[in-house]
């Protein structure tokens, strides 16, 4: 069984290419800022480049952020094409621009990413204001994908068209391969979102942790399905796949913020993921009449 597991992991590693994440996160995003006063302009700038970042990082961002107004002495001419424009709240803005809600900047982030999801990883890497939102989206989406996959492999007749997965179920020899692949993908995405090096060599400790965890959840999940009759273990299996992925994601997020989950925190996060997973699995089965 161990040899089979290792063979599966080896194939899984070959299927996940970190270069795609490097490319998406490494993209430079040019941002224009439009305000009525220099004070408002500075407020927007320090939202994008808060005081806690390093001076080297601030210089990098200064090359990406371009004032559009008010007109100040020696203001450089902004590039002809900007990826994103943020305008002070209350100003009449062009259709392509976004409002900077100074009392609710999270709303600004949500509106930008809703329309420009393709910029999410690069924005998160460069501007910490986008990082919590992008991180949450990465973790929850990967958790949901893994849960749906666990349900569909337990009850294969429940693979209707609305269960949209990034890869065909038939391409994977086991649920372990798919879940591990997705957790590796999540590790790369989170590294890119937190301005960290992306790759197997660069993240070898985190990758080893993902692989080690895959063997444990696999054994528990299979035992649940085999011991509970009439598919009653499907919810448990799906919840475990969700919870295991949830812990990996939250642990990596904490690590990239400069900390580490303690043992009690790991238990709490796992329990939280388990309850979330059970709820989602029940709704999914109810939606298909099971």
Domain ranges in the chain are 2-24+131-287, 28-119
Relative to beta strand 98-100, strand 84-88 is: parallel
**Rounded CA gap, 228 and 64, in Å?**
57
Residue 188 to residue 207: CA distance in whole angstroms: 9
What's the pLDDT at 134? 97
Coil, helix or strand for 241? helix
Q: pLDDT tens digits, residue range 255-264?
A: 888 888 888 8
- In the β-sheet with 65-69, what is the strand arrangement from edge to edge? 65-69, 31-34, 84-88, 98-100
Other beta carbons within 10 angstroms of residue 48's beta carbon come to 22
Number of other CB atoms surrounding residue 92 within 10 Å = 6
Q: What pLDDT sits at residue 257?
A: 86
| Cα→Cα distances 258→196, 252, 265, Å | 12, 10, 15
Beta bridge partners of 32: 66, 85
Q: Give strand pairing partners of 31.
A: 65, 84
Over the chain (290 residues), what is each successive 10-residue block's mean pLDDT?
46 71 94 96 96 94 94 80 96 97 97 96 97 96 90 66 44 66 89 93 76 52 48 77 90 87 88 93 83
Q: Is 176 left (phi over 0), alpha (psi -120 to 50) or beta?
A: alpha
183: closest CA among 227, 246, 235? 246
Residues 125-179 pLDDT 10s: 999 999 999 999 999 999 999 998 888 877 765 544 434 444 444 444 457 778 8
pTM for the predicted model, two decimal places: 0.83
Residue 134 is encoded by which pair of tokens?
């992008």
Tell me how far the alpha carbon of residue 60 is from its chain's centroid: 24
Q: At what angle do helices 2-15 and 204-227 cross, to 10 degrees?
A: 130
Q: Of 148, 142, 180, nearest to 164 (Cα)?
A: 148
Nearest-angstrom CA–CA distance, 275 and 253: 20
Q: Using one digit for the tens of pLDDT, what is the confidence trace for 235-258? A: 888 888 899 899 889 988 998 888
Six token digits for residue 167: 């890869």
Report d(CA 158, CA 243) in Å as an integer: 21
- Sheet strands (E) in 183-274: none
Tokens of 46: 């320090």
Closest CA to 245 of 273, 271, 208, 222: 273
């Amino acid at each position: 069984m161990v040899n089979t597991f290792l063979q599966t992991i080896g194939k899984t590693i070959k299927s996940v290419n970190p270069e795609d994440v490097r490319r998406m996160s490494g993209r430079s995003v040019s941002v224009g800022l439009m305000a009525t006063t220099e004070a408002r302009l500075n407020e927007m700038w320090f939202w994008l480049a808060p005081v806690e970042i390093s001076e080297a990082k601030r210089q990098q961002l200064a090359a990406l952020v371009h004032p559009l107004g008010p007109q100040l002495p020696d203001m450089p001419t902004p590039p002809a094409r900007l990826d994103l424009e943020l305008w002070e709240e209350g100003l009449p803005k062009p259709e392509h621009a976004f409002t900077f809600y100074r009392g609710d900047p999270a709303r600004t982030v949500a509106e930008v990413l809703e329309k420009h999801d393709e910029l999410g990883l690069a924005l998160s890497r460069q501007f910490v204001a986008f990082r919590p939102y992008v991180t949450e989206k990465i973790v929850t989406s990967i958790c949901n994908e893994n849960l749906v996959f666990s349900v569909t492999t337990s009850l294969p007749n429940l693979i209707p068209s609305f269960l949209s997965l990034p890869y065909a179920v038939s391409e994977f020899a086991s649920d372990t391969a798919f879940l591990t692949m997705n957790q590796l993908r999540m590790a790369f995405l989170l590294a890119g979102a937190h301005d960290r090096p992306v790759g197997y060599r660069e993240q070898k400790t985190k990758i080893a942790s993902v692989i080690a965890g895959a063997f444990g959840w696999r054994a528990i999940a299979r035992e649940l399905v085999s011991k509970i009759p009439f598919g009653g273990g499907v919810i448990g299996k799906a919840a475990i796949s969700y919870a295991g992925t949830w812990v990996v994601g939250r642990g990596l997020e904490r690590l990239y913020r400069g900390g580490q989950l303690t043992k009690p925190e790991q238990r709490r996060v796992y329990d939280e993921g388990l309850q979330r997973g059970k709820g989602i699995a029940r709704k999914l089965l109810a939606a298909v009449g099971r």
